[in-house]
Structure 1
């Protein structure tokens, strides 16, 4: 698989990350097969969070991969913290440190390659985050840091106190959820697509060498369902299928390749635990859509050009 530099770090990572949020639904044999398939395809970047499955996803992953020091050297592990489900968001020093220790224990490893702060905490004190990051870095427990679902000003606020660069920002993006792209096309226009909903996060991350990791690349709305093979999106599916036939790949491959075609060099995070669909996602790394094809898909999703 093609690799890319993750943000301003020295990490070379696959252009596609394997999301592990749904691994809790697999039996151990199926989880083993899923992880082996990813590794065989060169997809050795695994994305976790302390809340996925209440922590069980990290445990299942470690068991399925038979974690040991030899295997650990061959994979890249990312996890997230900061969400206390149904109650609050918590970026306190104590919570961050405890969360990382919990993830390390469940993953049966001594360190994370990347730790992301999962969702913005309105009560965040950047100085506390900085203390936590310093301790995690000096102890060797975390090597790189980033955020998830953060806008530019929230990132700037953190950076004011942090010594470490933020190398990634995980954000929702798909063909049908592309407001971070659309508002840049409709600059100064009097229509809904011109609304800046994220503070220009796409360009901000490009300028500051922060890799955007799109999550839910097949979803429309907020977990309302997938747009592929969905009767609600006939024009989009017709166009995707047409282009998929040209490249002799599936519609899944084209949906991911649409994200990869953007010059921001994003790293999509898959969510599937279906082995064949994972392979289709990974094939997108070898497809480069033309400019015309990218815009055809964009317009077929109902996005208008001024």
Structure 2
């Protein structure tokens, strides 16, 4: 994880949708993930308006899994808008990286999840009003108190990342970013350099190359999604060619299309980790199998082409 000796599974379980499960169902999802080799849990204080973390904390106690077997991460900094939020769909009314808000956010997370500490805590989305000295003071207090061991960010571009890193004493190990076969902007830009087509637009500040150079772990969220929350490309008629390509490789490697989609992300020669959003036990098992598959370079490109991408 990052440039440390902190070893975690290359596939993580995200619990955004855990609020919709019973405690018993959630316990089954957690146990299934651990049995499939996943030891990393990703959350955020806004997921299910906090209910996902409450369910997780209760469910973990129903399993045979000890706290020390897991690396548990959460995110904070978004102030929710209760009027527009419902179920798994949560909307913010502002971002807040003040010292007090970040400390209160972690305290709330620990209380809901019934934990003594987080292995990592991320700033959820970049705030144009963030004051770096406030973030630094919060991180120092959280680390000194033993409430948080490591830190990172989510959805930050390189300049935002560097600005925060320059003002804090801790190493930012993680940047959580949207990436899937159907969401490849950070890859497309690098190949379309010095061109005038749409794929040549630099939307992310060369975040893939920056992260590789810094040794930052990229946690890929929504690994099966297209758009923001439009749906999954797995078995979607909008992505017929892609599904045919995934199916062919799934047959070759005796696995599922989900596993190939995970393997495609992990094949990037960067410090990659895939965050699953599914709560369905069989989908967790199928997807986790992708960690054991190394696609050839041509297979990686074949999947990339099947998603509608090209080479310049």
TM-score band, normalised by shorter chain = over 0.9
Structure 1 match to 2:58: 63
Distance in structure 2 (CA, Å) of the matches to 1:291 and 1:265:
17
Deviation at 1:74, TM superposition (A): 1.2
Range with greater deviation from structure 2 (219-228 or 34-43): 34-43
Residue among 20, 25, 31 paired with 1:30: 25
Residue among 189, 203, 221 paired with 1:197: 203
Structure 2 match to 1:3: none
Residue among 55, 73, 79 paired with 1:78: 73
Structure 2 match to 1:262: 268
Task: Go from structure 1 to structure 2 and tell me whether the alpha carbon gap of 1:127 and 1:148 turns closer, same or farther (over 3 Å shift).
Answer: same
Give 5+ residue unaligned stretches, structure 1: 1-5
Residue among 79, 93, 99 paired with 1:93: 99
Deviation at 1:112, TM superposition (A): 0.4
1:145 equivalenced with 2:140 (yes/no): no
Distance in structure 1 (CA, Å) of the matches to 2:172 and 2:130:
16
1:21-67 per-residue CA deviation (whole Å, 9 max, x = no partner) reads 01111112211111111112221110010000111111111111108
3-state SS in 2 of match to 1:87? strand
Distance in structure 1 (CA, Å) of the matches to 2:267 and 2:23:
35
Distance in structure 2 (CA, Å) of the matches to 1:239 and 1:35:
30
CA contact (8 A) 1:259 1:268 kept: yes
Distance in structure 2 (CA, Å) of the matches to 1:184 and 1:165:
26
CA contact (8 A) 2:256 2:287 kept: no
CA contact (8 A) 2:27 2:62 kept: no
1:51 equivalenced with 2:46 (yes/no): yes
Deviation at 1:248, TM superposition (A): 1.2
Task: Go from structure 1 to structure 2 and tell me whether the alpha carbon gap of 1:234 and 1:53 turns closer, same or farther (over 3 Å shift).
Answer: same
3-state SS in 1 of match to 2:273? coil
Deviation at 1:9, TM superposition (A): 3.0
Deviation at 1:266, TM superposition (A): 0.5
Aligned residues, how many?
301
Range with greater deviation from structure 2 (288-297 or 37-46): 37-46
Give 5+ residue unaligned stretches, structure 2: 81-91
User: Residues 201-220 of structure 1: matches in 2 within 5 Å?
Assistant: 201-220=207-226
3-state SS in 1 of match to 2:16? coil
CA contact (8 A) 2:258 2:286 kept: yes
Distance in structure 2 (CA, Å) of the matches to 1:63 and 1:117:
25
Structure 2 match to 1:272: 278
TM-score, scaled relative to structure 2: 0.94
Distance in structure 1 (CA, Å) of the matches to 2:70 and 2:243:
35
Structure 2 match to 1:238: 244
Distance in structure 1 (CA, Å) of the matches to 2:198 and 2:10:
32
3-state SS in 2 of match to 1:88? strand
Q: Flag as ranges the 4+ runs of structure 1 deviating above 6 A.
A: none
